[in-house]
Structure 1
Amino acid sequence: MAPDYHRVKLRGKSFKGQDLTGVDFSYSDIRGANFTGAILRGANFSHAKAGLQRRWFVILVIFSLLLSLLSGSIAAVGGSLVGFVLTEQNQPNLYVGVASLIVLVIFFLLAIRKGIVAATGFLAVAVAWVAVAAVAWAGIVAVAWAGLAADTGAMGLAQLVAVIVTGAVGVVVSATGAVIVSGAAALAGAVAGVFAVTMTVAIAGCVSGIIAVAASTVGVLAGGVAAAVGISVVLLASYVGCSALAGDKKQKLIRNIIVNIAAKYGTTFQGANLTDADFTQTKLKNTNLNKANLTRTCWFQVKKLRLAAFENTYLEKEDLRELVITKQLQNRNCDGWDLQGINLAGANLKDVSLTGANLSESNLQNADISRGKLVQAHVDKTDFRGANLTGAYIEDWRISPDTKLENVKCEYIFLRVPTTENPNPNRLPSNWEETFSEGEFAKSVSPLSKLPNL
């Protein structure tokens, strides 16, 4: 007899690799539980609470705050270095300092407009060019020292190289701090919400301000640049962190990193077989679903799924996540969509267009597909039991003997989509005054896969 874990506290328990087919975990507390590689076919996790245990919640939040403090310091120090370059009132320093600030501004703008990856790529190219320039100047300096050891110009070239390197280091350090603060803010938000993001960037801002004040004792310009960089980092971290949590594709890398870090210590279903499992209204924040078998898994009204890790599953597609959670597709155009093996039981699919879509092995029990277009749709092993197919268009749908049509509700069906050239929809029953009797629809359409086009 299968164990019953209904309303049981299972925090931190390990079920790794176990066969838990059909087990009831509904309303249970499974925070931190380990289901790695487990067989959970038909298991019931409805209304369960997954995610982090309290101790890991606290640890990750504190880690985010400390990381923010450190990276805020780093960013401000980088800004101070650029400021120190500008403190010396001479033309070479001015050129290097202004160029460094321009590179930083472009980095910040790219991070917002194109994402952290694009901004980091630009920075790498810019620093590479600086490195080439510095090496070239170093070569000149070496030649100058070899042939003109007494010439004071050689010393000037050496100083210029030092200024270029200082500016480049300042830019890289500032940008690195900005990236880390953004990640720390996103991690805090993924674990504890928007308030934690605010706290994280506030700490980064405070420590940047302290360093800016310290830098101003050396030079007002140095302090001003450090303060400007600190403010920019805080603003960037706030935007990038919130965007990553909201699912902005430009910040996908940040999102994937922080979500996987949090999910590593939360409930894990990595590699588990969740075929036909039920997660209705389950809280899945900080849950690891990477590489799990999610065939016909029910996600109806799950909470915080966007903050779960789900690499190598169909949940990576935002449209599909929305679909399986809401089960609302009325009047939507889903032509050509790959919906194989997803759970749409009880879904509202009225007037949906699924032309050429792959619905093989999907669960459409009790779904309302009335007037839906299933033209050339793949419905091999699809479960239509109890579904409403009245007025649906099934021209050339790819049905098979394994398609389940028992108890389908259907008064009439259309075998083709009417066109201007051929307005006849080929209705079944052909008499527009008649409707299918109980069970007649299944008998009428089952042989259609073997018939030539009408």
Structure 2
Amino acid sequence: MAQNYRNAKLRGKSFKGQDLTGADFSYCDIRGADFTGATLRGANFSHAQAGLQRRWAFALVIFALLLSAVSGLLSAVGGSLLGFILVDGNRQNVYVTVISSIILLIFFLISMRQGVAAGCGFLAAAVIGCGLAAVVWAGIVAVAWIGTGTQTRVMELAAVVSVVVTGAVAVIVSATGLVLISGAAVVAGLIAGLLAVALTVSVAGAVAGVVVVGAVKIAGVVAAIPASVVAILTLVVSADVSSRGLYQDEKQSWISNLALGLVTKHATNFQESDLTDADFTQARLKNTTFKKSILARTCWFQAKKLNLADIRTTYLKDEKIRQLLVTKQLQNQNFDGWNLQGINLQGANIADASLVATVLNESNLQDADFSRANLTRAQLDRTDFRGATLTGAYIGNWGITPETKLDGVKCEYIFLCVPTKDNPNPHRLPSNWEETFEDGEFTQFTRTSSKFSTI
């Protein structure tokens, strides 16, 4: 007998590995519950509230703000180090500052355009390359000075090397500040939205401002200028990176995946569970994990905050597919050639849609409205059309099989071809335009006519 947990408070409970087929979790509070590896076929999670428990959400937001403060400190310190190099004002120091600034600027640009991961890759290569070049150059100079007996020159070389090291440290520290601010902002955003992103970046900015003021008092305006520029650029770029990461920009997947892994660690967990035919209608799913879950014919109608769940290994990672499953509004849209196998569009409005050669095998299309939809060459093996409306649909060479469920289909007439200029009145069945199918006649006809089925 299916278990009934309706309206229960199940925060933090463990159902790991249990057989909960057909269980009723509707209107439950399942924040922090663990369903890892559970069998949840046909389970009802409608109107359930999943995700993080309040104490974990609060703790993670505080952690993000503290991390952001440290990150702001790092970004300003990195810029201040570049400023301190300039205080001496000799030619070598200016060269090091300019080269370091160029490397840092390129890192910022790559991080915005290609993603933080690509930016870090460039930075590593640039720092290693510059370091090797500096070592080789220092070696050549040292060899040239051997035997001169000039201690002053050795001291000069050591000073140059220390400046180069300081420049490299400044670049690395500033870049680290960007990565940490972006990560902290995404963590906060996943929990509390864009306002939390703005607050996190603002905290970093406030701390950076304090450091810049300190740099002015210590070394004057010359040191404060690079510190201010680097801090401002870091904040601007981190705001852009974190916003893109929060909204799952593929280029910022590295930073968003790290943040998502941290946030979902203590949230509702459906990892590797079997959710075939489960129902999440109007469920709140922010920060919930669905990694490696079986989601065949799972219902997501009007599910909330699904874009903030860990859906990386499921069909839900495709924003367009996710949107149509949540809204079930497909009218007048084109899905030609799409792979929609095993999805749930029960009761969906698919009137006038184009589904030419679309893969709909094993999908739940019960009670959906396919009026005038183009199903030419659609793949429909084991697809459930029970109760669907197919009046006026175009079904030439559609790929139904004996396992396709057509019981209770509502259909007054269908067409075998799509209208064209040469054939404005495609082959209609019934062929007499004054006649319509009787109840059940269309289903019976498709089972007995080779024109309609691929068996």
Question: TM-score when scaled to structure 1?
Answer: 0.95
Superposition pairs of residues 230-249 of structure 1, within 5 angstroms = 230-249=231-250
Task: Show the counterpart of 1:372.
Answer: 373
Residue 56 of structure 1 and its aligned partner are, at CA, apart by: 0.8
Task: Show the counterpart of 2:319.
Answer: 318
Task: Show the counterpart of 1:179.
Answer: 179
Note closer, same or farther for the CA distance 1:446–1:82 as it changes in structure 2 (3 Å cut).
Answer: farther
Paired residues, what number?
Answer: 453
Give the residue type in structure 2 aligned to 1:290.
Answer: K
Contact map agreement 2:400 2:452 (CA 8 A) in 1: no
Residue 45 of structure 1 and its aligned partner are, at CA, apart by: 0.4
Contact map agreement 1:332 1:351 (CA 8 A) in 2: yes
Question: CA–CA distance in 2 between the matches of 1:174 and 1:144?
Answer: 35
Question: TM-score when scaled to structure 2?
Answer: 0.95
Superposition pairs of residues 266-285 of structure 1, within 5 angstroms = 266-285=267-286
Residue 424 of structure 1 and its aligned partner are, at CA, apart by: 5.5
Gaps of at least 5 residues in structure 2 are none
Residue 135 of structure 1 and its aligned partner are, at CA, apart by: 2.1
Matched, 1:259 2:285: no
Task: Show the counterpart of 2:432.
Answer: 431
Residue 121 of structure 1 and its aligned partner are, at CA, apart by: 2.7
Note closer, same or farther for the CA distance 1:109–1:449 as it changes in structure 2 (3 Å cut).
Answer: farther
Question: CA–CA distance in 1 between the matches of 2:203 and 2:380?
Answer: 55
Task: Show the counterpart of 2:289.
Answer: 288
Question: CA–CA distance in 2 between the matches of 1:450 and 1:429?
Answer: 13
Give the % identical residues.
59
Contact map agreement 1:399 1:449 (CA 8 A) in 2: no
What is the CA RMSD across the aligned residues, in angstroms? 1.9
Superposition pairs of residues 53-72 of structure 1, within 5 angstroms = 53-72=53-72
Question: CA–CA distance in 2 between the matches of 1:26 and 1:149?
Answer: 85
Matched, 1:414 2:415: yes
Contact map agreement 1:4 1:24 (CA 8 A) in 2: yes
Task: Show the counterpart of 2:50.
Answer: 50
Question: CA–CA distance in 2 between the matches of 1:323 and 1:451?
Answer: 28
Give the residue type in structure 1 aligned to 2:111.
Answer: A
Residue 400 of structure 1 and its aligned partner are, at CA, apart by: 0.5
Which one is further off, 404-413 or 128-137?
128-137
Task: Show the counterpart of 1:114.
Answer: 114
Give the residue type in structure 2 aligned to 1:390.
Answer: T
Question: CA–CA distance in 2 between the matches of 1:227 and 1:451?
Answer: 71
Note closer, same or farther for the CA distance 1:324–1:302 as it changes in structure 2 (3 Å cut).
Answer: same
Query: Structure 1 segments of 4 or more deviating over 3 A?
Result: 144-149, 151-158, 418-424, 447-453
Task: Show the counterpart of 1:23.
Answer: 23
Give the residue type in structure 2 aligned to 1:230.
Answer: A
Matched, 1:297 2:284: no
Question: CA–CA distance in 2 between the matches of 1:318 and 1:233?
Answer: 29
Task: Give the secondary structure class of the aligned counterpart of 1:134.
Answer: helix
Task: Show the counterpart of 1:333.
Answer: 334
Give the residue type in structure 2 aligned to 1:41.
Answer: R
Question: CA–CA distance in 2 between the matches of 1:441 and 1:296?
Answer: 25
Task: Show the counterpart of 1:96.
Answer: 96
Which one is further off, 192-201 or 255-264?
192-201
Superposition pairs of residues 400-411 of structure 1, within 5 angstroms = 400-411=401-412
Gaps of at least 5 residues in structure 1 are none
Task: Give the secondary structure class of the aligned counterpart of 1:3.
Answer: coil
Give the residue type in structure 2 aligned to 1:321.
Answer: R
Contact map agreement 1:79 1:225 (CA 8 A) in 2: yes
Question: CA–CA distance in 1 between the matches of 2:409 and 2:59?
Answer: 53
Give the residue type in structure 2 aligned to 1:270.
Answer: Q
Give the residue type in structure 1 aligned to 2:244.
Answer: S
Question: CA–CA distance in 2 between the matches of 1:147 and 1:329?
Answer: 83
Give the residue type in structure 1 aligned to 2:311.
Answer: F
Task: Show the counterpart of 1:165.
Answer: 165
Task: Show the counterpart of 2:144.
Answer: 144
Residue 321 of structure 1 and its aligned partner are, at CA, apart by: 0.7
Task: Give the secondary structure class of the aligned counterpart of 1:251.
Answer: helix
Residues 253-283 of structure 1, C-alpha deviations (whole Å, 9 max, x = no match): 2222212211111000000000000000100
Residues 100-133 of structure 1, C-alpha deviations (whole Å, 9 max, x = no match): 2222222223322332223223322322321221
Note closer, same or farther for the CA distance 1:110–1:163 as it changes in structure 2 (3 Å cut).
Answer: same
Contact map agreement 1:137 1:161 (CA 8 A) in 2: no
Contact map agreement 2:110 2:119 (CA 8 A) in 1: yes
Task: Show the counterpart of 1:41.
Answer: 41
Residues 392-436 of structure 1, C-alpha deviations (whole Å, 9 max, x = no match): 111111110000001111111111224455556221111121111
Task: Show the counterpart of 1:355.
Answer: 356
Question: CA–CA distance in 1 between the matches of 2:4 and 2:143?
Answer: 81
Note closer, same or farther for the CA distance 1:239–1:451 as it changes in structure 2 (3 Å cut).
Answer: closer
Note closer, same or farther for the CA distance 1:448–1:176 as it changes in structure 2 (3 Å cut).
Answer: farther
Question: CA–CA distance in 1 between the matches of 2:85 and 2:105?
Answer: 17
Which one is further off, 418-427 or 322-331?
418-427
Residues 257-310 of structure 1, C-alpha deviations (whole Å, 9 max, x = no match): 212211111000000000000000100001011110000000001111111001
Contact map agreement 1:144 1:154 (CA 8 A) in 2: no
Residue 228 of structure 1 and its aligned partner are, at CA, apart by: 2.1
Question: CA–CA distance in 1 between the matches of 2:380 and 2:39?
Answer: 26
